[in-house]
Amino acid sequence: MTSTDIDLDRVLSFSEWCDLCGFSPATGRRVLASGEGPIVTSLSARRIGIRRRHNLEWLDKRASQAA
């Protein structure tokens, strides 16, 4: 496993993901609740995160849909 693979498997906290995407937390919750967001990783009973890999896949999918 390369360092790039490890970096892509890093889990962003919900707030880190919102900051990275430029969302408010309310918008981030709406995106995830709609089922249109990236794959979510359950960190505990009350915390979620998004793997960098899944965020990039989601962004790529959105870019191809917008074109």
Instruction: Indicate the domain borders of the chain.
Output: 7-66
Given this model, what pLDDT does residue 66 score? Answer: 64
pLDDT of amino acid 11:
96
DSSP state of 38: P
Report the side by side order of strands in the sheet with 41-42: 11-13, 48-51, 41-42
Q: pTM for this structure?
A: 0.84
> What is the model's pLDDT at position 23?
94
Question: pLDDT tens digits for 8-59?
Answer: 999 999 999 999 999 999 999 999 999 999 999 999 999 999 999 999 999 9
Residue that has been written with the tokens 């793997």 in this structure: 51
Q: So what's the pLDDT on residue 15?
A: 97
pLDDT for res 67: 59
